[in-house]
Amino acid sequence: MAREGLFDDLDWANEANAPFYVWPAARRWDLVLTCGDRLAPGAGGVGEDILQLVAALKAEAPGRAILLICAEPVDAQAKPALAGVCVLVAPPRRYAFGRYVHFLEAAELRFAYAAAELLAELQRRGHEFALACCPDRGAEAFYLQKMRRHGQLRIDGLTLRLYGPTALDMAGPLCDVSPQTRNLLVEEIACLQRADLLAHRDDALFARVAELCQRFGFDPAPRGRREGASLWSALTPPPQPARAEPADLPVGFVIPHFNATEYIEDCLISTRACAEDDDEILVVDDASRADEKTALRAMIARLNAEGGVQIVLHELPHNSGPAAARNAGVARLTRAQALQFIDADDALNPDGFRATRRALRLNPDLAMVYGLQRNFGADRFYWVTMDANPLTAFEENYCHSAPLVRRAAFEALGGQTPGMRYHYEDWEFNVRLCLSGLAGELVIAQTQHYRMGHASRTLAHLDRLDRSRQDLFAHIARAPLSGDPRRDRLAATLANYASMLERAGLLQPGAGQRRDTPDPPAPEPEPEPIVERRTVEIVEIVDLEERIKALPLPLWRRKLARFALSASRRIGGARRK
C-alpha cells in the first residue's frame, strides 16, 4: 500500500514496518504522549514515569482518548498498564528507502523526527489532536512544534513536561562539547521557548530551567505550571488564539546557469510547477559558451510558448561566479518580496516549496526557510538541515543551496559575496545571516533535489577547498553584519578564532574537505580477491546497482545482489560527500 511520507512519496516511515502497520480509525485524540525511552516497569527514567502518568490520567478520566507514540515496542510487562491506550511505534530511522538520513545522528532526534512524521500521517488520514505532551529532555518536541509552527500539523495545545533538559548537565565551556550536542542544546531551548505550557513537579528544577531560558533571552515563568491533584487540568494549556493567514508574498526564482543546458530543463520544469501567477522566474547566464547560450535561449523560448509563468533570461557579459550571478538576478526582479534560489543542475520539489512558502508567510520573524535535501546521482542520501545556530555556524553549514529568503533580509546583508567564486558562497551568506541576529529555520519537507557526482564547479576546484574555507572566515571577520558594533566585533573575533582552529585541524572538515593523513604502508601482494577492492567508491556501487537492474535476473537474485552491495557499501567504507 502506497503511503505518503516526509522523505519520499512512495511509502510512509520505515518501509520494513509498512506491510503490517495497523492504523487506528480516524478520531480526535484528547492527548498525545511521546516517549523515546523504554517503556517497562522498573526501568526507571522517563519511560517508567510515563507509565505512571498514563495510569493516573486513566483513573482521573477513564473515557478520554490517549495516543502514546514510543520508539520501540512496549515491554510485555507494561502492556496491562496501557490497556485502553492506543500505542504506536515510531522507530528512529537512519535510512529511508535505501538512502542514509544525514544529520539525524542523535537517537533522540531520530525518534523526534519519526514521531512528528507519524502524527503528520495520522492527520492526513483524518485524525485530530487536542493536546500533545512531550518530555523536555532530548528535544522530543522539536520537530512536532516546528511542524505546528509552520502550519503543517494542527495541534490545539503543546505542553512540555520538565525532567531537566540535557543542557543542564553540561559543565565547562561549550567549546568542549561536540557540535551535535551544541545543536541539541539549541533545539531543547526552542522547545522550551515555543511550548504553550511547561509542566513540572519540582520548583527547584523549574528555577534552574528558568535560569537557562533567561540566558537565551526569554522568561518561561508565565507559562510554568506545577502539577497538582488534577493532572488533566495541570497539563492543559489555556486556549491559544487562532492564527491569521497573512497575504502571500510574491516570489522571485533566481537560477544561475553556466554551461548546464544538459540539466536545466528539469530545473525549469520543477520551478514552473512551484510558481504562482504573480511570481517571477529569472535565469542568469554567467557567460556560458556560445553553443550553450544558443541552446538555452531556444529552450526558454519553447517553454514560454507552452504558457504559464514566463521565464526571463539575463546574460552576464563576463563570467563572475554563482554569487555574483544570484545578486544580479535579484537586482533585476521587479515585484518579488521573497527569493527562491535553485542551481541549474538541481530541481525543486513543488510540495516542499509550498510548505516553505507557507512557513515564511505564517512567521514574520523568519528571514529564511529551507527544507530537506534529497541527493541523487553518484551519491544518494537525505540531508536533514538544521535551524540557524551561532554555536555551530562556523563548523557546519546548516542550510543547502536552495533556501527561500526574504528579499529585505538578503539586501540588508548585501547579498552573497562575489569573491567566493569557487566554494562555500552559500555557507558564508548563511553564517552572516545567523550572526547578524536573523532567523533561519528548517521546514519539515523535501525542497531540493541535489545532483551529485557530475563535473560540477566544486569538483573542478577541489584543490581550493581549504583556501575557500579560510576565505569564508576572512569575509565574516570584515563584513558589517548587524549595524551593532559590539555584535560585529564579536562575530569578527569568532571568525578569527575559527580560522586558527581550522588551520590546526580542530574544526570538523567542511563539505568536500579532507584532513591530511600519512600514507599507509604499501600492502603485501595478495591473491586475486573475489571482491576487487575493500574500499569501495560510491560511484562504483551506483554503477553496479544500475547493471543489476538491467540484467534479467529472478527477483530473489536481484534482492540478494542489492543486499550484498549494501553490505559492501557499509563494510567497504564508501565515502559520503
Query: What is d(CA 89, CA 74) in angstroms, rounded to the nearest whole number?
Result: 9
Residues 120-138 pLDDT 10s? 999 999 999 999 999 998 8
Q: What is the chain's mean pLDDT, rounded?
A: 84
* Chain centroid, CA 101 distance in Å: 10
Residues 26-63 pLDDT 10s? 999 999 999 999 888 887 889 999 999 999 999 999 99
545's CB contacts (< 8 A; 6+ apart) are: 562, 565
How would CATH label the architecture of 18-235?
3-Layer(aba) Sandwich (3.40)
Locate the domains of the chain by residue range. 18-235, 251-503, 538-571
Say what the pTM is.
0.84
Residues 472-507 pLDDT 10s? 999 998 888 877 888 888 888 888 888 888 888 877
Q: Rounded to 10 degrees, what is the CA torsion of 37, 40, 45, 51? A: 100
DSSP string, 304-354: HHT-SSPEEEEE-SS---HHHHHHHHHHH-SS-SEEEE--TTSEE-HHHHH
Asked whether the predicted pLDDT for residue 442 surpasses 50, the reply is: yes
To which H or E segment does residue 361 belong? Answer: helix 350-362
Query: What is d(CA 148, CA 120) in angstroms, rounded to the nearest whole number?
Result: 10
Residues 156-198 pLDDT 10s? 999 999 998 887 777 667 777 788 888 888 999 999 999 999 9
Which residue in 512, 505, 510, 531 sits closest to 576, CA to CA?
512
Query: What is d(CA 182, CA 399) in angstroms, rounded to the nearest whole number?
Result: 17
pLDDT of residue 181: 85
What is each CA distance from 195 to 63, 142, 161, 235, 359, in whole angstroms?
Answer: 26, 10, 10, 12, 18
Q: Which CATH superfamily is domain 251-503 in?
A: Spore Coat Polysaccharide Biosynthesis Protein SpsA; Chain A (3.90.550.10)
pLDDT of residue 546: 59
Residues 73-89 pLDDT 10s? 888 888 998 999 999 99
Q: Tell me, what amino acid is at 378? A: A
pLDDT of residue 380: 80
